[in-house]
Structures are given as C-alpha cells and as structure tokens.
Structure 1
Amino acid sequence: MHSNQILKSLFLFVAISSMAVAVFGICNSCQTNNVACLNGTHYRFCSDSVAADQVVQCPDGKVCTDLAVICIDEGVTDASCSATAADGSCPTCDGTNTFVCTSRTTFQMCNGNELTSQVTKCKDNKICSIQSGKYCVDLCEAGDSIECDRESPL
C-alpha cells in the first residue's frame, strides 16, 4: 500500500514536471533549434550558410526561445536569453553621460539630466552601444549587453 502511494506521487511529479517549460539558454549560444538568441527578442541562425551578422527580430509580443517554434508569445514561456530588462528600460541622462541609447537603434545627447531633442539613428543592421565607445555596433559585437531594448525612443 505504501509503495502504491509513492508511485502515485512519483507519477504526479513527472506529469507536472513535463508541463513546466524551463529555459536555461545562454545568450548568443547556438541552441537545439539551430538559432542563438541574442537577447529576449532577437536571434541569429547557427549555420555556415547564413552570415552571422544577419539578425532576426521576433514579432511584437513574442520572445526568442530554444523551442522548435523560435518566437513564442510573451508570458507563455521565458525567453532563453534575457540579458536585457524585460520592460525595455534604457539608460537616462544623469549628469555624467554625454549620450544615452534611447532605443535599440537610436541615441540622443544629454544636457545635464535632460535629453536634447535631436535623435540620431544607427545605420541599418546596427544597434546603439554607447558603452562600446563606437555609438553603434553590429548586434554580434554587442553580445548580451544591449543597452536599450525599446523599438523606438519615447
């Protein structure tokens, strides 16, 4: 009778565990689905026949995963790489920085604690990276340190 209880508990544990999706991916690392998630919403293909700097963005409201369907609705499962803040937070002018990224592909100059009105856009296939000292870099060069994960400046 006691072994029957243990078997039921074990079966229940296995059933619940199989329903839970745990994602332990590493940013910019090839996964079983042959892509490398670069952040929560962008990925590159892991193939010699596709240029490594070709970056694909998941549709709005979807996150990059290691599942067969690469981009899954946000909230259904965790992104396999979440090196950036999920809320899309970005650095702000704090009186010590000259420039800050205001979206994935734009930056603005700071005037003390205030942003100036001029928005500067990175070239195509580049993302904002003030910390690199280059202003804009290839996504692969930025690695898992995306400074601002917003679609556009506020």
Structure 2
Amino acid sequence: MSLVRILKEIRDLEGGSAETNLTIGPAQENPDPLHYQATMIGPNGSPFEDGIYVLDILFRENHPFSPPIIKCLTRTFHPNIDEDGNIYVDVLHHNWDPSLTIEKTLLSIQSILSSPDVDTPSSGNSTAAYVFLQNRTEYETIARECTQKYAM
C-alpha cells in the first residue's frame, strides 16, 4: 500500500508546477522506489528568491505512518536548516500526519524559507536564528549571499 501511495504522489508532482515551483524525480539512474530528489525555487520576496534548492527525499518503508527523511542538499543560511542539510519543520517531526502528501510537505519546507520558526532554538542553525532575531537586515544579507553563492 505505501509504495502505491508514494508512486501516485510522485506522479502527481513529477511534471512540476508553475504555481508551487516544485519538481521531483528519482534520486539516481537506477531508481529506488523510496528515494527521490526534489527541487524548489526560493519564494519571492525572501532572501532565497530565485535560488534553486535541491532536496533529498527518502520515504520510509511504513510511509505514510512515518514522515519521509528530507535533507537540503543546497547549502543555505537558515534557522531551520542546519549545516548538514537537516530540516527542522514541524511536519517532518512531531506534527507529521499520514494524510500529508509529499507536495504538502515540500510546500511546508518552502514556506519556512519565508517565515522561519525561531521559537525552537535547539533545532537547526542556532547562529542563523540568533542573527535573525538580533538583526534582520544582517540575516537577510547573509542569506541572500548564500543564495547567490550556492543556489544559483
């Protein structure tokens, strides 16, 4: 059942969407039906605007009862993405719900680029969170520089 659902969700998102700026496909030439890569464009009006972010997605055997493991492969400066690319967004952890699709999950990740969750200081990049809270202009400058350097 989980593989059928995964393949349906992938097919629904595979062609990409101009509205969401998301695409998805196999992570390698000889595809593993549980391993994918997605790309998303940074949201307009954010320091990540026009950046292309590559995400590694690994579905678990018991999907949808456990969230996928998603890492950002594109280096970024963000409070909710650590230096190893681990993403700290509630739907990948304590607020996972089996009704969530991969598209909704990716949209949640895209959403935190514009609106970081700095209420959880133990998660993600504490330096980025500190700069975000202390000096928003400096945070946006650093994030924009990272976007230019690594995501374009």
Give the TM-score band, short-chain normalised: under 0.3
Whichever of the two has the greater Rg, that structure is 1
- The higher relative CO (CA closer than 8 Å, separation ≥ 6) is in 2
Structure with more of its chain in helix, by fraction: 2
Is the strand fraction higher in 1 or 2? 1
